Structure 1
Amino acid sequence: MVKAKPSLGNIVRHIRNSNGWTLAEMSQRVAIPLSTLAKVEKGHLTLTYDKLVDLSDKLGMGLSDFLNSSAVTAQPKGMARRSVGKTAADGLNVETQNYDYRYLCTELRGKIMIPIISRVRSKTMQEFGELLRHAGEEFVYVLEGAIEVHSEFYDPITLRAGEYVYLDSEMGHGYLVADGCEEATILAVCASAAANLQQELISQARGEAPKTTKLAVAGNAEKPKALKSSTHKNSSAKPKRRAGAA
């Protein structure tokens, strides 16, 4: 294993994962806004020396221990592994109020991508409840029917079979069965460098992880809504759309 070059984002992510915290839980513990902490983990934002001292103090660590706490290692390339599924029974089924999940390729550990086939159940946000968030990004492709995509910073959109969306999973999000449709099925591929993403998703689906984001009021604008201001540098910037995103 080759030692990876440590970065502030790697250190923060390692400490969070080692303690089994979600981003929201760590944000509350260290009194750093969730959006700011997410940007630090991704390497999009750094912290001043004073903020680093304050962060390490809230974690109960000295600054030197904090800076030396990353145990990130580079994964060897060419592992030559694969997973093949041929029947509907393959995978792990988890039924929830909002979705019937079928997690695929669950025998492969430490995956970067988590493929999931989901039957969407809820038809209103009153049924759905609070929006979900988790580490990484996700791609959703509608296999059957039509869905409404609700998210924290964008107005709702409707996607029909053959259409798709790519979004930041740390932004609150949820999928509903669209009006005029009885049911819908989607393929979701979630991706993150976090080693425990699959377990985080399954735990959240089973109600073992907190839901932290409430539905934003929909408007008519096509542009994302502005983030709340923060005392940290760049934390008030609007999220950027990615190419191909709805």
Structure 2
Amino acid sequence: MKSPHPTIGGLLRSLRARNKWTLKQMSERSGIPLSTLSKIEHDRLSLTYDKLQQLSERLNIRMSELFAEETVNGGVPTVTARRSIGRVRDAVRIDGKNYESFYLCPELRHKRMTPAVTHLRARSLDEFGPYARNSGEEFVYVLEGTVVLHTEFYDPLPLQRGESVYIDANMGHAYVIGADSEAATIMTVSASDDDQGALEALMAAQGTR
């Protein structure tokens, strides 16, 4: 049965088609073995978020480009006047050990921010394992349950539904389910350093800085 969500395999096929790469060329560029890449493209294997980060670095593209479906017109217009309605049923699902994330608005390319709805799985830092680290900055809003944010420089921070936090995502961090909750869901909006620079340039051009 076909997945209701865009898949990593489908997105990689679109990325390869946009760049006119053969499967072998993409394998050489990404460092993913040819047979493994073929299985990913046919949705027989998937990639964790960490592996996706490594892939974006090897291909020298933004993470937001990995989560963008192919569009008819290429290029980035100066003024996009675009709009995208984020629905979980249309999102790209990434299933990992600690998080189940749904990356919203996948049809938009060259996004300056990457929005996602994430269900937490770990209930302690020990269960979570090594801290996560992402390029750029991250805003998190608690949609459901109690969340505890662990970071390498601060004491654990409990966050209730409706509360939020903004962090340097390069800092080691982990979101876990609070002791008084059965489950917890967060909304994240992240921007890499390159994306943020583009956003600041746009704000300056519009006179909003």
Structure 1 length-normalised TM = 0.48
What percent of counterpart residues are identical? 45
Larger radius of gyration: 1
Q: Paired residues, what number?
A: 126
Query: What is the CA distance between 1:98 and its match in structure 2?
Result: 0.5
Which residue does 2:101 correspond to in 1?
Answer: 101
Query: What is the CA distance between 1:194 and its match in structure 2?
Result: 3.0
CA-atom RMSD in angstroms: 2.2
Letter aligned with residue 149 of structure 1: L
Which residue does 1:168 correspond to in 2?
Answer: 168
Letter aligned with residue 188 of structure 1: T
Alignment partner of 1:126: what SS? helix
Tell me, yes or no, if structure 1 residue 92 matches structure 2 residue 98.
no
Query: How do 1:60-209 and structure 2 match up within 5 A?
Result: 77-85=78-86, 87-194=87-194
Q: Which runs of 5+ in 1 are unaligned?
A: 1-16, 22-74, 196-246
Alignment partner of 1:127: what SS? helix
Distance change (3 Å), C-alpha of 1:157 and 1:109: same
Query: What is the CA distance between 1:76 and its match in structure 2?
Result: 5.2
Query: What is the CA distance between 1:124 and its match in structure 2?
Result: 1.1
Query: What is the CA distance between 1:19 and its match in structure 2?
Result: 4.8
- Structure 1: 4+ residue segments shifted above 6 A: none
Alignment partner of 1:194: what SS? helix
Asked whether the equivalents of residues 135 and 194 of structure 1 are also in contact (C-alpha less than 8 Å), the reply is no
Asked whether the equivalents of residues 88 and 104 of structure 2 are also in contact (C-alpha less than 8 Å), the reply is no
Query: What is the CA distance between 1:88 and its match in structure 2?
Result: 3.4
Asked whether the equivalents of residues 103 and 117 of structure 1 are also in contact (C-alpha less than 8 Å), the reply is yes
Letter aligned with residue 77 of structure 1: T
CA distance in 1, matches of 2:139, 2:176: 16
The structure with more helix, counted as a fraction of residues: 2
Alignment deviations for residues 59-116 of structure 1 (CA, whole Å, 9 cap, x no partner): xxxxxxxxxxxxxxxx75311222123x431211111110110000112111111000
Asked whether the equivalents of residues 112 and 193 of structure 1 are also in contact (C-alpha less than 8 Å), the reply is no
Structure 2 length-normalised TM = 0.56
Alignment deviations for residues 122-176 of structure 1 (CA, whole Å, 9 cap, x no partner): 0011211100111110100001101000111111110000101000011111100
Distance change (3 Å), C-alpha of 1:193 and 1:143: same
Which residue does 2:198 correspond to in 1?
Answer: none
CA distance in 2, matches of 1:99, 1:142: 14
